[in-house]
Structures are given as C-alpha cells and as structure tokens.
C-alpha cells in the first residue's frame, strides 16, 4: 500500500481540513522533506480569515525538515546555502520560488520576492499560486506548505542546511528574522548623505511588540542602539518584550489619545526617535508613528506594508505628517535570499541571542493548528511552532534514504 502523509488545508473562513495524500516521489528537479517544525505566522491568519472563495490550499511557509528523497537533477536545480543537498540533511526553506525571467527578476535578481510577477509561495492560498504550481493539495505533488508531514521542494528554491547544533524550531524563525533584518538594513541606507541612518547613538522606537517587533528590537539591541523604546497596548506583551530585547523603555499607550502618544514619545526622545519601526497592523498606527520620527530620521513600515483594498482610510495633512521631516520613509515587503542568509547567520548565534524565547507556544499535531491560529491575539502569545516529534515512524528515514 502507498505510504500516506497528512497535511493541513485551508478550505475557507476559519476552516482547516486535515487531509491525507500519498507521500510523493520528487519531480526530477525537486526534493521531498519530512517536516520537523513549522511556525505559525500572521500571514497564515490572513489566509484563514479571508472570506473570498478559493480552492483549498496547504498552508504554512515557515518550515524546516529532513530530506527523504531527491530527484536526479535536484542538486543542480535547488540553491543550497551552507552545504550540499543530501538525503538525511536538515534544511530550512525560502518560501518564495520566483521565475527568474520576468522584468522584476531580471532587474532585481532571481529570488527577490514580493516583486516577481510569476512567483510561487509555499503555503500561500491566493490566485497567483493557482497559476504557477497550484496550492491545491489535490494536485501532484500534494504537499506544498509547511503544515504537513512532508513538503515537496521545487526547482529554483533557496534552502539552508541547518547546523547540527540548531534545533529545527529555531531554524523556522528564519522568515520573520529576515523581515526584521531587512527592516534594520533599511535604516542603514542614508539617502543623499543627510538622513540619519542607524548608528550606535540612535534612539529606536518600535511600535507593536508582536514577533516581528521583538525580533527587530533584538537585532537593534545586538547591534548596539543607544536607546530602545517599545510601545504596545498590553502590559503582558510589553513585559515579555522588555525581558527578551532588553528595551530601555516599554510604554503602554492604551487609553491615550493619538496626540498624547505622540507627545509622550517626543518627551522620551527629546524631539522624536532617530528610527521608528511600525509593526502594528492598523493604518492609524502608521499615521501616528510617522509623527514620532525625528527630522531627518528614518521610518520603516512593516505592519501595514501589504496592499489592502479593504483597509480603513484617513484624511491627513501629508506635508505635516510626512514630508516636512525630510525623513527617509520606507517599508518592508520585498525580500531576498541574501537577506535571509544574513538572518540565518544571526540565527546561528542562538546561544547568544535569545531567539528561542519568542516561541511562547509549541504544539505537536496538525489538529492543534486552528486553536493556535486563534490564540494569536492573546496577551501571552508571541509565536507558536508545530514540532513533529520523532515517533513510531522514526525508522521511516532509513527506509527511504536508499
Ligand atoms: Zn511568515
Ligand atoms: Zn519573476
């Protein structure tokens, strides 16, 4: 009988179905991994809370696993950082596969996500995926997202070999860490020589203490910013953020008017933060946070960088709020394998930088995915990770390795 594996498919609004499919043979330029860990991301919550009709899709894009089978041309077709591809090796995966041929790929380089017109996103449930490798698990090779026991890795995917001393559950933090790294790197770009990019004398303000906010704070702290301030609306979240990042000031801004928040930050920063990173996912927070930047400072948007036709709109005085500061205003939506590689190098310092502490919840079966997606707003929640424990089928690795 064919060996089967389970996966989680997002079938509609808060509707996750656990389905079984045969463990696929890899395409000749692909590989199959047995998933060891997969992290839950705000993006997954976006997919399950989407009310538009779509075909079911295997979700999960932050995942790592062990190679169990390889196509004959996989070594040439898959880009592997940090070692060779071989059966038994553990890898973590860059979630985008780009086409390498469209105008964007030709201009910015293969692998640059967020701009390629024909990209495939592991664990993505949207129209573009349907026209590329199709996220629908009923089509071969079925396993196309991290929330499953297996994933088929396609040609032209970028992967990293996980060092023996790095647990898979740390490796799966690669994607959010890369977002944080890109945000930090954007502040190091000085436009025209006047703007204040990041330096050891910077006061950094991070709005929102979710996983990305905390990771960004950790990296700024590691790089030596002079003062780190973090704001949120929940004391418990702020306390966790302070403990993990070593923030100098954490500020609960609940119950304050927008004007009061801005004034409080102005006081604490003596006229605005050199660097403001907005990680809160409401456009009102962006408008407010823009007013907390010092003149010639740098503002990076993460929380509201994704295009959203249904987002609320506001009337603003654009000169007062944006341009009169002469600030460098940018956002993080595109990323590249090279940034991921720099993030992976940081993750390798997990003994020194407390990445593990952002994992507040761990679960061990696909059936617990939906409850963990629903927990995302909880006060004690930062990040949850599905960890597949070695169980009865522990000898399966041997069966398929030769
Ligand atoms: Zn993600
Ligand atoms: Zn492309």
pLDDT tens digits for range 112-137: 987 887 888 999 887 656 666 666 78
C-alpha of residue 97 to centroid of ligand 2, in Å: 9
Residues 57 and 152 grouped into a single domain:
yes
Q: What is the DSSP letter of 49?
A: T
Specify the 3-state DSSP secondary structure of 176.
Answer: helix
d(CA 15, CA 238): 32
* pTM of the predicted protein model: 0.93
Residue 118: per-residue pLDDT: 84
Q: Looking at the CA of 116, name the nearest ligand.
A: 2
Domain CATH number, residue 59 = 3.90.180.10
Residue 129: per-residue pLDDT: 62
Residues 26 and 158 grouped into a single domain:
yes
Residue with the two structure tokens 């047995």: 34
Q: Is residue 166 part of a domain?
A: yes
Per-residue pLDDT of the chain (402 residues), as tens digits, is 789 999 999 999 999 999 999 999 999 999 999 999 999 999 999 999 988 888 889 999 999 999 999 999 999 999 999 999 999 999 999 999 998 889 989 999 889 987 887 888 999 887 656 666 666 788 899 999 999 999 999 999 999 999 999 999 999 999 999 999 999 999 997 666 777 789 999 999 999 999 999 999 999 999 999 999 999 999 999 999 999 999 999 999 999 999 999 999 999 999 999 999 999 999 999 999 999 999 999 999 999 998 888 899 999 999 999 999 999 999 999 899 999 999 999 999 999 999 999 999 999 999 999 999 999 999 999 999 999 987 655 444 444 333
Residues 14 and 143 grouped into a single domain:
yes
Residues 76 and 213 grouped into a single domain:
no
Question: Which two tokens mark 179?
Answer: 């977002």
CA proximity to 94, closest of 134, 70, 121: 121
Give the residue from 296, 316, 331 where a domain finishes.
Answer: 331
Residues 10 and 148 grouped into a single domain:
yes
Q: Do residues 66 and 34 make contact, with C-beta atoms less than 8 angstroms apart?
A: yes
Residue 391: per-residue pLDDT: 63
pLDDT tens-digit series, residues 233-256: 999 999 999 999 999 999 999 999
**Range of 256's domain?**
178-331
Give the residue from 331, 365, 393 where a domain finishes.
Answer: 331
C-alpha of residue 183 to centroid of ligand 2, in Å: 23
Q: Is residue 338 part of a domain?
A: no
Residues 315 and 258 grouped into a single domain:
yes
Q: How many domains does one find in the chain?
A: 2
Q: What is the DSSP letter of 335?
A: B
Q: Do residues 332 and 155 make contact, with C-beta atoms less than 8 angstroms apart?
A: no
Q: Looking at the CA of 175, name the nearest ligand.
A: 1
Neighbours of 181 (CB within 10 A): 25
d(CA 138, CA 133): 12
d(CA 106, CA 163): 32
Find the radius of gyration of the CA atoms of the chain. 21
Q: Do residues 36 and 60 make contact, with C-beta atoms less than 8 angstroms apart?
A: no
Residue 369 phi, psi dihedral angles, 5° rounding:
-65, -50
d(CA 80, CA 75): 8
Residues 157 and 192 grouped into a single domain:
no
Residues 79 and 167 grouped into a single domain:
yes
d(CA 137, CA 396): 22
Q: Looking at the CA of 335, name the nearest ligand.
A: 1
Q: Looking at the CA of 98, name the nearest ligand.
A: 2
Residues 315 and 185 grouped into a single domain:
yes
d(CA 25, CA 337): 26
Q: Is residue 343 part of a domain?
A: no
C-alpha of residue 43 to centroid of ligand 1, in Å: 6
Q: Is residue 389 part of a domain?
A: yes
């Amino acid at each position: 009988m064919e060996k089967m594996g389970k996966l989680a498919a997002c079938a509609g609004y808060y509707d996750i179905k656990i389905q079984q499919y045969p463990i696929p043979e890899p395409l000749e330029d692909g590989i199959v991994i047995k998933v060891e860990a997969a992290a839950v991301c705000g993006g997954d919550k976006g997919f399950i809370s989407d009310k538009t009709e779509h075909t079911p899709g295997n979700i999960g894009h932050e995942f790592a696993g062990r190679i169990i089978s390889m196509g004959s041309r996989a070594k040439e077709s898959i880009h592997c950082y940090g070692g060779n591809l071989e059966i038994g090796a553990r890898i973590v995966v860059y979630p985008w596969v780009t086409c390498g041929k469209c105008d964007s790929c030709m201009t910015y380089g293969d692998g640059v996500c967020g701009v390629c017109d024909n990209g495939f996103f592991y664990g993505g449930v949207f129209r573009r995926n349907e026209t590329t490798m199709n996220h629908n698990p009923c089509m071969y090779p079925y396993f196309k997202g991290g929330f499953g026991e297996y994933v088929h890795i396609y040609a032209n995917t970028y992967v990293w070999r996980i060092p023996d001393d790095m647990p898979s559950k740390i490796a799966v933090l690669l994607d959010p860490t890369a977002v944080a790294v890109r945000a930090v790197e954007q502040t190091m770009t000085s436009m025209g020589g006047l703007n204040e990019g990041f330096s050891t004398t910077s006061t950094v303000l991070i709005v929102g203490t979710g996983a990305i906010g905390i990771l960004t704070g950790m990296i700024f702290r590691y790089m030596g910013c002079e003062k780190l301030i973090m704001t949120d609306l929940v004391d418990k979240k702020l306390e966790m953020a302070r403990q993990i990042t070593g923030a100098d000031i954490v500020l609960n801004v609940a119950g304050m008017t927008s004007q009061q928040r801005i004034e409080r930050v102005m006081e604490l920063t003596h006229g605005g933060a050199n660097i403001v990173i907005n990680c809160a996912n409401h456009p009102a927070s962006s408008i407010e946070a823009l007013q907390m930047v010092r003149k010639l400072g740098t503002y990076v948007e993460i929380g509201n960088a994704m295009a959203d036709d249904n987002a609320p709109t506001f009337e603003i005085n654009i000169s007062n709020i944006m341009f009169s500061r002469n600030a460098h205003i940018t956002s993080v939506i595109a990323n590249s394998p090279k940034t991921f590689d720099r993030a992976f190098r940081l993750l390798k310092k997990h003994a020194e930088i407390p990445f593990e502490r952002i994992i507040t919840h761990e679960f061990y079966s696909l059936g617990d995915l939906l409850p963990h997606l629903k927990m995302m707003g909880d006060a004690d929640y930062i990040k949850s990770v599905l960890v597949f424990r070695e169980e009865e089928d522990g000898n399966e690795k041997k069966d398929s390795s030769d």
